[in-house]
Amino acid sequence: MQPPSLPSARATLTAAWLIAGASLLFATMGVCVKLASERYGATEIVFYRGLVGMAMIAVVARLQRQSLATPVPGMHLWRSIVGVASLCLWFYSIGRLPLATAMTLNYMSSVWMALFLMGGAVLLGSARVDPRLVAAVLTGFVGVALILRPTIEQDQVWHGLAGLSSGVLAAMAYLQVTALGRAGEPESRVVFYFSLGGVVVGAALSVPLGFSAHSWSGLGLLLAVGLLATTAQLMMTRAYATGRTLVNASLQYLGIAFSFGYGVLLFDDPVTPLALAGMLLVVGAGLAAVRLRTVAVPEVRRDSPES
């Protein structure tokens, strides 16, 4: 039996550009979410983001003559519940924390996945847990502690915990997306049902409080959030399907750098040595965790880890 072929150099380069572009779009989406948070609740933004995403994917699927009917609705339901919960918490934290801080806490998903991997090894009675994985997880938590220190000092601990929780749930959603890929579900279908979940959950949580009144600028921001997020998700999905996991994960952390620049330039976010050091530790821990997982488990076709 022939081993699976590795991505070609050209495919890897194309995937790298897709990841870099998607990271910029996600960071720009974060800017729009932060601005929209001044007039809309997080669940409302999730609702409209899902509505735009559903419309976009429906058009793409029709052009590609691809059915959106799924043989595994239960898997999509679980992925949507976890992913949408992560998205709500992430949008909430973006509206109340420095942009780069909220992005970094969500990007902790790779470290949480490493922790899940370690926990699974212990439960299954594995004789040995890779000490390098333990070191990566501990490094990630040290980075989070440094990032959250100024947040705690400003009495924003609950906002920081919301961002941290979004990363935990994003890791769980990523594992479910991997399972969907192995079940043969195309990326457009996965994104469609995730967007549908955002519409349902966003509406259910927003209706009791009432939807906010619209303005042209507000509608523009909501439309931008949906367009940017869905386009970025499709780009990242394609990159992970054709490129190398470790290269993609490395470039994905450009999103933190882009968000940091946006935060300083547009929102006068504070620049503290502790927060910067924490971000670097989280990036290093995340990349180490991805590398160790890639070595341990053969690469498979999968969707992007974005929740």
Residue 126 is predicted with a pLDDT of: 60
Contact (CB, 8 A) for 259 and 30: yes
Q: What is the pLDDT of residue 7?
A: 58
Which letter does DSSP use for residue 215 in this model? Answer: -
Distance CA 32, CA 295 (A): 37
Domain that holds residue 41: 9-296
- Residue 250 confidence (pLDDT) above 70: yes
Task: Express each pLDDT in 167-188 by its tens digit.
Answer: 999 888 888 887 888 888 888 8
Which residues lie closer than 8 Å to 276 by C-beta, 6 or more apart?
A: none
Number of structural domains the chain divides into: 1
For 254-296, the pLDDT digits (tens) are 888 899 999 999 999 887 888 889 889 888 888 887 777 666 5
Distance from the Cα of residue 1 to its chain's centroid: 36
Task: Give residue 302's pLDDT.
Answer: 44
Q: Is 47 inside any structural domain?
A: yes
The rounded percent of the chain whose pLDDT value lies above 90 is 40
301 pLDDT band (50/70/90 cuts)?
very low
Residue 113 in tokens: 């996945």
> Which is it for the CA torsion 293, 299, 303, 304, positive or negative?
positive
Measure the CA–CA gap between 193 and 54, rounded to whole angstroms. Answer: 8
CB 47 within 8 Å of CB 212: no
| Range scoring the smallest mean pLDDT among 129-133, 251-255, 300-304 | 300-304
What confidence score (pLDDT) does residue 184 get?
86
User: Is residue 305 included in any domain, yes or no?
Assistant: no
Q: DSSP secondary-structure letter at 126?
A: -
Q: Looking at the domain assignment, is residue 59 inside a domain?
A: yes
Tokens 């966003």 identify what position? 202
State which amino acid sits at residue 231. Answer: T
3 found inside a domain: no
* 162 in a structural domain: yes
Q: Is residue 248's pLDDT more than 80?
A: no
Instruction: Please give the pLDDT value at position 303.
Output: 44
pLDDT by residue (tens digit) across 150-172?
Answer: 666 667 888 889 999 999 998 88
At residue 9, the pLDDT reads 66
**What is the residue-averaged pLDDT of the chain?**
84
Give the amino acid at 67. Answer: S
User: Tens digit of pLDDT for each residue in 63-75?
Assistant: 888 899 999 999 9
In a domain, 186, yes or no: yes
pLDDT value for 293: 65
Least confident of 34-38, 213-217, 276-280, 287-291: 287-291
Query: Considering the domain boundaries, does residue 304 fall inside one?
Result: no
DSSP state of 270: -
Q: Distance between CA 296 and CA 232 in Å, rounded? A: 28
235: in domain: yes
b/e code 14-42 from CB counts within 10 Å (16+ = b):
bbbebbbbbbbbbbbbbbbbbbbbebbbb
pLDDT at 3: 47
Res 121 pLDDT > 70: no
Kindly report, residue by residue over 45-63, the tens digit of the pLDDT: 999 999 999 999 999 899 8
CA angle, corner 211, sides to 103 and 234, nearest 5?
40
Q: What is the largest CA-CA distance in the chain?
A: 61
Output the six-digit token pair for 40.
Answer: 């809309």
- Picking from 93, 260, 256, 84, the residue whose alpha carbon sits closest to that of residue 161 is 93
75 close to 145: Cβ distance less than 8 angstroms: no
**Taking Cα atoms as reference points, which of 254, 255, 253 lies closest to residue 285?**
253
Task: Flag whether pLDDT at 76 surpasses 50.
Answer: yes
Q: Is the pLDDT score of 125 beyond 70?
A: no
- Rounded Cα distance between 107 and 18, Å, is 18
pLDDT for res 181: 81
Q: Give the whole-angstrom CA distance, residue 70 versus residue 188.
A: 11
Q: Return the closest-CA partner of residue 86 out of 160, 204, 159, 169.
A: 169
Q: What is the pLDDT of residues 219-240, one digit of tens each?
A: 999 999 999 999 998 888 777 7
Quote the crossing angle between the two packed helices 273-296 and 99-106, to the nearest 10°: 20
Q: Quick one: pLDDT at residue 222?
A: 97
pLDDT band (50, 70, 90) for residue 32: very high
- Tell me if 225 sits within 8 A of 25, measured CB to CB: no
